[in-house]
Amino acid sequence: MRIPIDILKKISDEFNRTLEIGTTLSAGELSLRFGYWRKVDINKLIDILPKDYTVKENFIDEDEECGGELWNYIISYGV
């Protein structure tokens, strides 16, 4: 799966956090992580991505040593 670099830059700028991109165990998906697993406004993320992409918000864990809840976002295309 591909996301154009200008879209990734827009996402990073919107949330003003370090953006990390990773893979998932499923083909055709990418994982986005903001800062140290911070939660972002999923509706803003959906609005930035082209309409053919879907977003799933994942609660990963609760870790008080790391500042609370840990989140990532799974992006897929055409689902």
Question: What are the boundaries of each domain within the chain?
Answer: 5-77
The pLDDT score that the predictor gives to residue 78 is 81
The pLDDT score that the predictor gives to residue 79 is 62
Ranges of residues in the chain whose predicted pLDDT is under 70: 66, 79
What pTM value is reported for the model?
A: 0.87
Q: Give the bridge partners for 42, in sequence order.
A: none
Backbone angles phi, psi at 34, to 5 degrees: -110, 125
Phi-psi region of 16 (alpha: psi -120 to 50; beta: other; left: phi over 0): left
The pLDDT score that the predictor gives to residue 9 is 95
